Amino acid sequence: MTFNTLHKIRLFFRKNKESYYIFYNLLGVYPKDLHLYKQALIHKSLSIKDKNGNTINNERLEFLGDAILDAIVADIVFRKFNSKREGFLTSTRSKIVQRDMLNKVSDKIGLDKLIKYSHLNSMSSHNCNLSGNAFEALVGALYLDHGYEACLTFM
């Protein structure tokens, strides 16, 4: 049996089944650590703290996801355009991972509807990038939970 088949069987007995299905439909794999994916969807505007007073939001996952996304897109572009020079590859990667593109991709897969944020000050310039930032955080969560290959497959 594959990991996903075993995970489906175990899923029957878990709480938060709906969350597991949502992330499976988005990513193509079941979360091992659901907490990571939920954190990827929490914007800093909520000001949530854990029992130790540490802030819980998606910023650290966004940082990691940004780096992983750059590496994955570079990998894909490098393999796809094997006769192109560095300048073309850099330009192509930059167009794919630019904020507007990430916002569009995030909105297209419905991630924008899952993000948790404070509606106060929702018109700020940072909030117009909520979707793209959450997308990067989701890639960071996927990387921590399933590794590079899962991120490559997702992309």
Question: What span, in angstroms and rounded, lies between the C-alpha atoms of 150 and 76?
Answer: 14
Burial 59-78 (b: 16+ CB within 10 A, else e): eebbebbbebbeebbbeebe
Catalytic residue among 33, 50, 62, 66: 66
Catalytic residue among 59, 107, 136, 145: 136
Residue type, 30: Y
Q: How far is CA 29 from the centre of its chain?
A: 13
33 assigned to active site: no
70 assigned to active site: no
Enumerate the active-site residues: 66, 136
